[in-house]
Amino acid sequence: MSAVRRRLSQSAPPPSSRKTTPAVAQARAEHDRRLGATLIRLGKLNDEAIAKIVELQRQTNAPFAKAASKLGLLTREDVETALGVQNGFIREREGEGRLPSNAIIVRRPASKEAEQFRALRTRLLTSKDAEKLNLFAIAANGSSREADHVTLNLAVSFAQIGKRVLIVDADLRATRLATRFSLPAGPGLRETLSAQCDIRDAIRPTIIANLSVLTAGEMSPSAHELLSGKTLNLTFDYLRCAYDIVLVMTTPFGPVADAQFVWAAAGGVFIVTRRNLDRLAELKSLNTALRQIDASIIGAALAG
């Protein structure tokens, strides 16, 4: 038995202080062993830290993660990352970037919100427009914050059932996707559309299993011209063949017309509306814009 397993196997409280059945206590001890071993493998803990955690557990009967947090040895993100690795949701020592703070479906998989995303995934996969999930754009009105939240968690939900998933950031006036994953802005879509970079070199695997990203690239004043060219259609044709599901982030609907080019090239659009913020007249304008380019609405979500 390794030193880690030896220390963690001793972390259960003495029989007189137990308030759980032996089976529950054994399950908890095994959970602690697995979590501790994963955290050591990820470089978050060492044997000395494990010994301190075990000692505090003996004194307080606290769960492993809570004891480690109280000692200042782990953050909530450390524990969530380790659990994601154990569940196969996060690549260990592979991929690029960090786990986004709003990746609810990975960070809190047992939450009500995570279950809602899994239910949305099921509805989309069993709908009459399921074939259009191969590549579709995300449309939002006024603000991108809620749309980005839905895009990320929906993409991760598809990745968790073994789909090869790609998120494309087609908002060339910002660096939204790169910021979420703490990645460099480029090379990204802008560089591939302007023939400065091979798209295969611009796409990056993330630390989330089965999920890759194509960031927007360096912010471009010529975004409108790049998105209106035929190269975008050819790029989407390639991505449809390379991935099972591609989700395309776009600029919010409003004064800037960049998104319409992306919606037209994608063909299918998923709408994200904001609770208590989006007005009926604005949504009617969005619907009119989608009809003008003959884009199919494959689904919608109310966020916020």
d(CA 301, CA 275): 10
* Tokens, residue 22: 């032996």
Average pLDDT rounded to a whole number, residues 100-128: 93
Three-state DSSP at 191 gives helix
pLDDT band with cut points at 50, 70 and 90 for residue 246: very high
- Would you say residue 13 has pLDDT above 50? no
Average pLDDT, the chain: 87
**Do 214 and 187 meet the contact criterion of CB atoms below 8 Å apart?**
no
**Do 167 and 97 meet the contact criterion of CB atoms below 8 Å apart?**
no
Among 246, 131, 132, 255, residue whose Cα is nearest residue 189: 246
pLDDT at 222: 81
Phi, psi of 237 (to 5 degrees): -60, -40
| Range from 33-42, 95-104, 227-236 carrying the lowest mean pLDDT | 33-42
* Tokens, residue 215: 């960031």
Instruction: Determine how many CB atoms are found less than 10 A away from the CB of residue 96.
Output: 15
- Taken in order of first residue, the domains within the chain and their CATH numbers are 3-86 (no CATH), 104-303 (3.40.50.300)
CB crowding 135-165: b at 16 or more within 10 Å, else e: bbbbbbbbebebbbbbbbbbbbbbbbeebeb
| Number of residues that make up the chain | 304
Neighbouring-strand partners of residue 245: 165
Which secondary-structure segment (H or E) carries 119? helix 112-125
Average pLDDT rounded to a whole number, residues 178-194: 94
Average pLDDT rounded to a whole number, residues 187-216: 95
Which secondary-structure segment (H or E) carries 160? none
d(CA 74, CA 39): 9
**Do 35 and 83 meet the contact criterion of CB atoms below 8 Å apart?**
yes
Amino acid at 50: I
**Which residue has better confidence, 112 or 86?**
112
Global pTM? 0.82
- Would you say residue 12 has pLDDT above 70? no
Radius of gyration of the chain (CA): 23
Average pLDDT rounded to a whole number, residues 51-72: 89
| Alpha-helical regions (H) of the chain | 3-9, 22-41, 47-60, 64-70, 76-86, 104-107, 112-125, 145-159, 176-181, 189-193, 199-202, 223-228, 230-242, 258-266, 280-292
| Alpha-helical regions (H) of 131-229 | 145-159, 176-181, 189-193, 199-202, 223-228
pLDDT band with cut points at 50, 70 and 90 for residue 8: low
Phi, psi of 123 (to 5 degrees): -60, -40
pLDDT band with cut points at 50, 70 and 90 for residue 183: very high
- In Å, the largest CA–CA distance within the chain is 73
pLDDT band with cut points at 50, 70 and 90 for residue 15: very low
Q: Which of 74-88, 207-221, 268-282, 286-300 has the highest mean pLDDT?
A: 207-221
Three-state DSSP at 244 gives coil
- Would you say residue 76 has pLDDT above 70? yes
Among 261, 212, 270, 208, residue whose Cα is nearest residue 233: 261
- Would you say residue 301 has pLDDT above 50? yes
